[in-house]
Amino acid sequence: MAQTPKNTIDRQKLNDLLDYYAAKMKRQLRHCMHCTLCAESCFLFKMHRGDPRYMPSYKVINSLGRLYRRRKRLELKDLEEIKEIVWRNCVLCTRCWCPVGVNIPEMIALARAVCRSQGVYPRLNENFQQESWL
């Protein structure tokens, strides 16, 4: 039952997924004004007493933004870091609101899909327990 993770990135699959949504996602990333008004709409941000790592814009810029910026130099350790952002720091409750209209849950969901396509996702350990960080 052990889930063996892969140890290399499937570039073809990565590029297919990122290319399909590139125009829309890059446009939305560009439209982010870094105003942080979305922070107030995220209950995780509020519960963590204003920790900037739980701001929707921070999550998007450091997950999907990072995927698009570092696409050619992406490695599995980058995906592991992105995994923590999109699965721990966000629950996809879609409560986040952007004054400009950026669809934040869509971007987090795409980042999750990209990680999942590379075999990077929250796993059960040998005792069938969740990873401790989740």
Partner 1 sequence: MGLPAFAEGVTDALTILVMFCGLLFLGRRVLLRRVRTISTFGDYLALSITLAPFVSGFMAYHHLGDYQKVLTVHILCGEIMLAALPFSKLGHMLYFFLYRFFLGGEYGLTRRLRVW
Binding site for partner 1 (CB under 8 A): 24, 28, 31, 33-36, 39, 50, 52-53, 55, 57-58, 61, 94, 97-98, 100-104, 106
- DSSP bridge partners of 124: 130
Q: At closest approach, how far in Å is the CB of 34 from partner 1?
A: 5
Backbone angles phi, psi at 60, to 5 degrees: -70, -45
Compare residues 11 and 31 and give the one whose CB is closer to partner 1. 31
Q: Single out the residue of 36, 58, 39 nearest to residue 49, CA to CA.
A: 39
Compare residues 62 and 118 and give the one whose CB is closer to partner 1. 62
Q: Are 105 and 99 in contact (CB under 8 A)?
A: no
State how far Cα 50 lies from the chain centre: 19
Compare residues 51 and 121 and give the one whose CB is closer to partner 1. 51
Q: At closest approach, how far in Å is the CB of 36 from partner 1?
A: 5
